[in-house]
Structure 1
Amino acid sequence: MASATQGLDAVVVGAGFSGMHMLKSLRDRLGLKARVYEAGETVGGTWYWNRYPGARCDSDSYVYCFTWDKQLLQEWEWSERYPEQPEILRYLEHVAARHDLKRDIQFNTRVTGAEFDEDANLWRVRTDKGEEVAARYLITAVGTLSTTNIPQFKGLENFKGKWYHTSRFPKGGVDFTGKRVAVVGTGATGVQAIPVIAQQAKHLTVFQRTANYCVPARNGKVDPEVVQARKAEYDAINKRVRESPFGQERWPMPKSVLEATPEEREREFDRMWDVGGFDFWLANYQDMLTDREANEVCAEYLRRKIRSAVKDPAVAERLIPKGHPYGTKRQPLDTNYFETFNKDNVLLVDAKTDGAIGEVTEKGIRAGGKEYGFDIIVFATGFDAMTGPLKALGIKGRGGRALADEWADGPRTYLGVAVAGFPNLFTITGPQSPSVLTNMPVAIEQHVEWITDCIDAMRKEGKTRIEATPDAQDAWVAHVNEAIGGTLFPAANSWYMGANIPGKPRTFLPYLGPEGVGGYRKKCDEIAAKGYEGFGLA
């Protein structure tokens, strides 16, 4: 059998930020034989697949990068505050070439199954190429937002025009010039894509199910003096970011919204609005996400901003979110999003006031009893987040138990990095870890470092097997739920709650502990220092 000759120490699934760093650590730090399987034709993960118009990161570029290559931190020059997809992909290609990573990555290969062989104490991994390999460790680096959510609209197969999902755009892009275009979805992706498509299309119709609070990105070139100052103190920046709640140089204000005078609040809100980026979401008053009354004060400021940006009062009202507290859905950063609805060639169709999409027809979309004609439909409908990519791998643990079955009622993990019943399986930024509620490279580096240290410690102690205990997992799941129960997040039907996928259990998927990713890092380090408390080693 192939596995007998290939004797891998580890199989890593995915070659984005996570898989690249994991490979580097296993191979160059521990000297292990590792192979990465990647479904795409090159590295990049998220930044390979998501090439829709306007795709860019929404964390500041100086912290949206690897910190383990200190020389590269000094050498690399980002062109903007929030680089676009092609630039981030160029960066990741550069890292792969610089560290010779591609020689251990098998591209255009999808993992279709992985079973733990208890007798041999190995993972047997199968691919769509008919290959089977064996490895001591199985490490998933599949990303949190990689399983595409293509809505099951009746009649989609009959549409005579072209349709695309934002995460599967053609490589050469799509020419919208002179076309009648529909964009379905107004989440973070839609908010980025809609203003760009509106500049090209003859006519754009936006189908909105849930209105979104947006704050301005304020993208642009970064002052060269600021760039140099940051490069001069990268060690201090990295320390601050690692200990911060959200993996960024942002901290909530240690004060209640309700303690501030109206004048003081307005000054602070204006300041955050003008700075742009995630300040309004992550560096606002400390009780914004825990107290309804405090949240309402912040939300009302944003409603005023929407009304002032959108000329037609009726359109403005439809663009104002109703039914969920501010900040409990993913915060989109926008560049002229609301202003786009002032254009003569842009129409908003709102599910609540105009009727929801009933079906896709040969000519376009029928919603609220009316048919709209299109040449192109773009689905900005997001992902089966966090659990979807892992369930798709066909993972089976001890006794043949399927991960998809174990998670039928929602994910159950220990620290978001391990699962009881699945020995030697590590899930980088898995469910119930900070992941999507922090700057992703910071969350990724923390997990990769922790997993690497864990495997290193096992080897030094002659251990070949590690598995989360059911009791530790139960306690972690209870802690995750208790932590989020003290916030307003469960009040929103968000993808954080799994609410965007029909039939998906409604449960909070990431982890939002009291001190965010900084506190989580401390917790993970304490567990390791106690001999990997909550794990069984053999």
Structure 2
Amino acid sequence: MGSSPQVLSVDALVVGAGVGGIYSTYRLVRAGLNVQCIDMAGDVGGTWYWNTYPGAMSDTETYLYRYSWDSDDLRSYPWNRHYIYQPEILDYLRHVVDKHNLRKHMRFLTEMQNASWSDQEKTWVVSCSDNLVIRARYLINSLGLLSKPNYPDIPGISSYAGKLIHTARWDDSVELAGKTVGIIGNGSTGVQVMTAIAPKVGRLVSFQRHPQYSVPSGQGTVPDGYREQINQNYDKIWQDVWSSSTAFGVPEVTDKTMDFSPEERNKAFQRVWDQGNGFRFMFSAFGDLTTNSEANEEACKFLRSKIDEIVKDPKKARALKPRDLYARRPLCDTGYYEIFNRDNVDIVDLRDTSIESVVPEGIKTADGLVHKLDVLIFATGFDAIEVACSGFPNMYIISGPQGAFANFPVVIESEVDLVTECILHTESKDKSKRVLEVKSEAEQQWSDLCDKLVEGSLFKTTASWIFGCNVKGRKTSTKFFFGGLNQYRNWAKNEVATGFPSFANP
């Protein structure tokens, strides 16, 4: 017979100790609740614990890729670059947890295995690894938007005799120096990995299905006085972020592209190219790149011309140039196109010859060629996944489907604030009535609104994980609220102010 499980009773269980789980734990502990946070990882960090691949970096400037609620920490915690790399992000999150004494509420190497709601006891009963059972009135799933690695459906993967790595589970023990390395995937992660490892490997081959538009990130050491200026203006910076649509700290202009001459358009595009940041390029030159195909094509022409200008080999330049619209999640880089001027970096355009299978030696393409590889890297992203779901009382999801499409740390704060308000509202009731569940009709109305808001957006015209198109066989769906962070926060404030009309006692 097995031993009896260890039973732990708490007010709230937070699953996941990433950016969302840390803030959820902080808010609920501060509200006076008995909170337990668990994570299957060995420490805090979430996405930034697991994603240790070379070049992993935020695409939001450092001064915004942090929590807004500790004003002293915003101004005193050290940083000296425009963008922040994975080890620095992990150090920052550990610092926040230790500074606010949250570690005593956390258990690591603990995985949620199943959860069931007891309607009689108004309690979630959660079975975990290590024979642990946690009973909690509230279940907050903060598993992260990008947590489940997506492996491509390519025949023969299991036959590969070399080293195979997915960027979401990077293996530092694999030696890349001097090796022939192939990589599948050229989204944000793939671009970062390729740029970082190109100078180190013997040979790098990018197997590219969908070329991506990318702009310089603007990464570098901040100049003298930059940090001081940020510190002096932090209050205004956050006011602007909360009232913006994308929350990336870039100007969101309304100028229409075609109202300007070709020379003026090129000048505006060049200006944001020189400043760096993909979101700046998409939203700060003109205001209609995501809604007007003619305007978008002007941006495409500029970006294609930059590829021709940077990449000296016409064959490589041709392979790198997208033929579709500039309508995926904006990418930025630290010299991506430049690496293709290296003799040891090549590209296989899968638009011309597709991958037939993975074989023990490497990758076999449809033209019969076998590309011999020592290491094969999958940079193929995630199986990406509302703050609450009908049918699940007292359960909330941070970074779930149809949250606001904006700077993720800022979105996470906004969602956790709403979840906390829901829980505090529930706690104010008599014990027998401490249950809150979103109405099914409200859930459907939100889903319908998300579908309506994306109509007319050029994002919908390209295959992207934003709509689930990166997973073979997956039905496309609207995974985000495209009304802007400001509108999401206005909705949340109204929901709280009017007594949670979208929720009901089951």
Q: Same fold (TM over 0.5)?
A: yes
Kept after mapping to 2: 8 A contact 1:2/1:133: no
Give the aligned CA root-mean-square deviation in angstroms. Answer: 1.6
The whole-number CA distance in structure 1 between the counterparts of 2:4 and 2:457 is 51
Where do 1:27-66 residues align within 5 Å? 27=29, 29-66=30-67
- The aligned counterpart of 1:344 is 343
- The aligned counterpart of 2:222 is 222
Q: CA deviation at 1:5?
A: 5.4
CA deviations over 1:312-367 (Å, ceiling 9, x no partner):
122211111123x21x21222111111111111111011111x2222111111111
- The aligned counterpart of 1:447 is 415
- The aligned counterpart of 1:22 is 24
The whole-number CA distance in structure 2 between the counterparts of 1:173 and 1:61 is 29
- The aligned counterpart of 2:383 is 384
Q: CA deviation at 1:483?
A: 0.2
CA deviations over 1:470-501 (Å, ceiling 9, x no partner):
11111111100000012111111100110110
Q: Which moved more, 1:497-506 or 1:277-286?
A: 277-286
TM-score (norm 2): 0.96
- The aligned counterpart of 2:374 is 375
- The aligned counterpart of 2:135 is 134
Structure 1 residues not aligned, in runs of 5+: 388-415
The whole-number CA distance in structure 1 between the counterparts of 2:138 and 2:5 is 14
Q: CA deviation at 1:252?
A: 2.5
SS of residue paired to 1:235? helix
CA deviations over 1:269-325 (Å, ceiling 9, x no partner):
1110000012102323111111111111111111111111111122211111123x2
Where do 1:260-271 residues align within 5 Å? 260-271=260-271
Correspondence 1:10 to 2:12: yes
SS of residue paired to 2:205? strand
- The aligned counterpart of 2:232 is 232
SS of residue paired to 2:460? helix
Letter in 1 for 2:99: R
Kept after mapping to 2: 8 A contact 1:244/1:250: no
Where do 1:78-97 residues align within 5 Å? 78-97=79-98
- The aligned counterpart of 1:144 is 145
- The aligned counterpart of 1:403 is none
SS of residue paired to 2:140? strand
The whole-number CA distance in structure 1 between the counterparts of 2:224 and 2:123 is 51
The whole-number CA distance in structure 2 between the counterparts of 1:3 and 1:268 is 64
The alignment covers a number of residue pairs equal to 500
Correspondence 1:488 to 2:458: yes
Cα 1:153–1:128, aligned 2, differ >3 Å: closer, same or farther? farther
Kept after mapping to 2: 8 A contact 1:178/1:201: yes
Kept after mapping to 2: 8 A contact 1:52/1:173: no
- The aligned counterpart of 1:405 is none
- The aligned counterpart of 2:100 is 99
The whole-number CA distance in structure 2 between the counterparts of 1:55 and 1:246 is 22
1:520 to 478, 481, 488: 488
SS of residue paired to 2:294? helix
Q: CA deviation at 1:174?
A: 3.8
Kept after mapping to 1: 8 A contact 2:290/2:459: yes
- The aligned counterpart of 1:409 is none
Letter in 2 for 1:201: V
Correspondence 1:426 to 2:424: no
1:532 to 492, 500, 504: 500
Where do 1:78-477 residues align within 5 Å? 78-170=79-171, 172=172, 174-277=174-277, 278-323=279-324, 325-326=325-326, 328-353=327-352, 355-368=353-366, 369-385=368-384, 387=385, 416-434=386-404, 437-462=405-430, 463-477=433-447
- The aligned counterpart of 2:473 is 503
Kept after mapping to 1: 8 A contact 2:290/2:457: yes
Kept after mapping to 2: 8 A contact 1:50/1:85: yes
TM-score (norm 1): 0.90
Q: Which moved more, 1:474-483 or 1:173-182?
A: 173-182
Letter in 2 for 1:526: N
Letter in 2 for 1:183: I
Q: Which moved more, 1:57-66 or 1:30-39?
A: 30-39
The whole-number CA distance in structure 2 between the counterparts of 1:70 and 1:174 is 41
The whole-number CA distance in structure 1 between the counterparts of 2:245 and 2:310 is 32
The whole-number CA distance in structure 1 between the counterparts of 2:183 and 2:108 is 31
CA deviations over 1:130-182 (Å, ceiling 9, x no partner):
32221111101111011001223222222221111011012x46431111111
CA deviations over 1:5-60 (Å, ceiling 9, x no partner):
52211111110110001001111x21111111101100001111001011011100
CA deviations over 1:428-485 (Å, ceiling 9, x no partner):
1211111xx3111111111111111221122224341111111111111110000001
Q: CA deviation at 1:3?
A: 8.8
- The aligned counterpart of 1:72 is 73
Structure 2 residues not aligned, in runs of 5+: none
